[in-house]
Each structure stands twice: as C-alpha cells, then as structure tokens.
C-alpha cells in the first residue's frame, strides 16, 4: 500500500462540540494526549524510531484484545457473507448512498426504521471502544470528552449517530462501513478486517496504490459514491514487477 499527498480530516472533538457540547469537559487536562502526540510526531525516540528499528511492541491487554477482535471481525464478515448468499442479493449497480442496515432491536434510542448501513457498525464500534478503559479511542478522547456522560445517555448517543451526524462529519466511519458492505458480496479472506481498517486512509491521501484488486475495486466504488473527496486508487502488479510499475505511476503523476 502506498499513499501520496496528505489531507486533513474531521476532528471528532469538533463534531461533539457541534452536536453534544454538554459532553465536553470544561477544563480539559491535555497532559496525556500531548504526550501521545509528541511520541507520534517526534523525529527521534518516538513511534517512528521504534518502527525504523522494527522493535516489537510489548504484549499488553490492549494488544491481546486487538488480536481477539481481529478474529471476531473475520467471523462477522463470514456471517454477513452467509446472509447475503442466503438472500441471493447481487451488488449490481447499488449505490453506497442507498445501502441500509437494521440495528439490534434492543438498542436504546433506535426508532425501529432502517438506517444508512455505515451507521450501524460505526455506532457499535464507538460503544465498544469507549467501554474499554485501555482503548486508544479513550486515550485520545477522554481528556476532552466526558465518557461517563456518554455512557449515561445511550439514547442520545444513538440519536446522534443514527439521525444527526452526516457522512461528512464522520467520513472514516462511512468508508469503513462501505468496505464492510462491499466485502459481503465477495469471498471472505483473512484480510477483510485489515482492509476495512486501511480504507480509512483513503481520506488522508490523493492517490493510493495497491496490488490488491478487490481493495482497489472497493476504493473506486467509494470514490464514485461518497459524498466527499476520496483518494483515487491505482492497481499495480504484485511481486517483482511492483516497483517498476510504481515508479512509472509516480512519473505519470508528476507530469
């Protein structure tokens, strides 16, 4: 995977400020989040130094949880695929803007009508991550957002996610949901959960290059249907020919 030309995206704190200002902490302590940001941005001794040294991260409760959730996500992809096959649905010319899903019937605040597909897994993901103290989501958010206030108002969270925010407010969630939907019409592989995660970077770049044919196909479908800008995806050969094709593509992009 190769990306070119970074692009800024929506800040979750900005979205909360717009729709649920009562969930914001009036006087946030940014000590922890600033330390996390410094570790990510510093030229020496931070995350990128560890990546360059290929130092394995320590085994933590969070890393073990990540492995379990990857397995669960793959199982979920297989279940979704089975339901699609049973209903004999075909992707055809379906627009991603017209893909809908039905949430769990016991979800607080849900009014009983189908909602845009991306909203269902997105809300579930947010709820799951905010419920785990060691989650990276909480590490970045709980210095400015009152997680306890969100937990105390599940109806309001559902209304926010299902009825109020727009795809442009949560573009990464829209793209991840789109990839999950598109994957249901193709054979499930071990890479499905990783592809869904990687898809969010289509918001950070102008051009994405991959040898994964399905990933490129899904990315181009997102670019055609998304209500915001999504990176152009280019397919290159895998193996020994990948480097020469990549260099040729870069030369064309510079011209």
Each residue's pLDDT, cut to its tens digit, for the chain (255 residues) gives 333 333 444 466 688 889 999 999 999 898 988 898 898 889 888 888 888 887 666 655 555 455 555 454 455 545 555 555 555 555 556 788 888 888 888 899 998 899 998 999 889 888 888 888 878 888 888 888 999 999 999 999 999 999 999 999 999 999 998 988 888 776 655 545 567 778 888 998 888 888 888 899 899 999 999 999 999 998 988 888 888 888 888 888 777
pTM for the structure as a whole: 0.76
Going by C-alpha positions, the residue among 105, 104, 110, 125 that lies closest to residue 155 is 110
d(CA 222, CA 235) in angstroms, rounded, equals 15
Q: What are 4's strand-pairing partners?
A: 207
d(CA 211, CA 243) in angstroms, rounded, equals 11
Give one word for 112, left, alpha or beta, with left for phi > 0 and alpha for psi -120 to 50. left
d(CA 158, CA 234) in angstroms, rounded, equals 37
* Structure tokens belonging to residue 223: 């670019």
Q: What is the CA radius of gyration of the chain?
A: 20
Question: CA-CA distances (angstroms) from residue 183 to 62, 79, 147, 163, 192?
Answer: 26, 11, 32, 25, 7
């Amino acid at each position: 995977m190769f990306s070119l030309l970074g692009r800024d995206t929506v800040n979750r704190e900005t979205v909360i400020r717009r729709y649920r200002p009562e969930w914001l902490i009036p006087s946030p302590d940014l000590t922890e989040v600033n330390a996390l940001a410094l570790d990510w941005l510093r030229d020496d001794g931070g995350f990128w130094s560890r990546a360059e040294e290929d130092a394995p991260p320590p085994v933590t409760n969070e890393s073990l949880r990540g492995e379990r959730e990857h397995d669960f996500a793959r199982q979920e992809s297989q279940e979704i695929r089975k339901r699609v096959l049973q209903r004999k649905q075909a992707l055809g010319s379906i627009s991603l803007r017209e893909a809908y899903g039905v949430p769990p019937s016991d979800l607080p605040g849900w009014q009983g009508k189908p909602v845009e597909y991306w909203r269902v897994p997105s809300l579930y993901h947010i709820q799951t991550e905010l419920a785990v103290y060691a989650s990276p989501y909480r590490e970045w958010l709980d210095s400015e957002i009152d997680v306890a206030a969100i937990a105390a108002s599940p109806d309001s969270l559902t209304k926010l996610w299902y009825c109020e925010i727009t795809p442009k407010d949560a573009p990464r969630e829209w793209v991840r949901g789109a990839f999950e939907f598109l994957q249901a019409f193709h054979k499930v592989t071990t890479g499905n959960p990783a592809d869904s995660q990687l898809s969010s970077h289509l918001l950070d770049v102008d051009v994405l290059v991959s040898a994964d044919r399905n990933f490129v196909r899904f990315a181009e479908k997102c670019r055609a249907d998304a209500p915001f800008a999504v990176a152009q995806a280019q397919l290159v050969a895998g193996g020994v020919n990948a480097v020469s094709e990549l260099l040729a593509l870069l030369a064309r992009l510079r011209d």
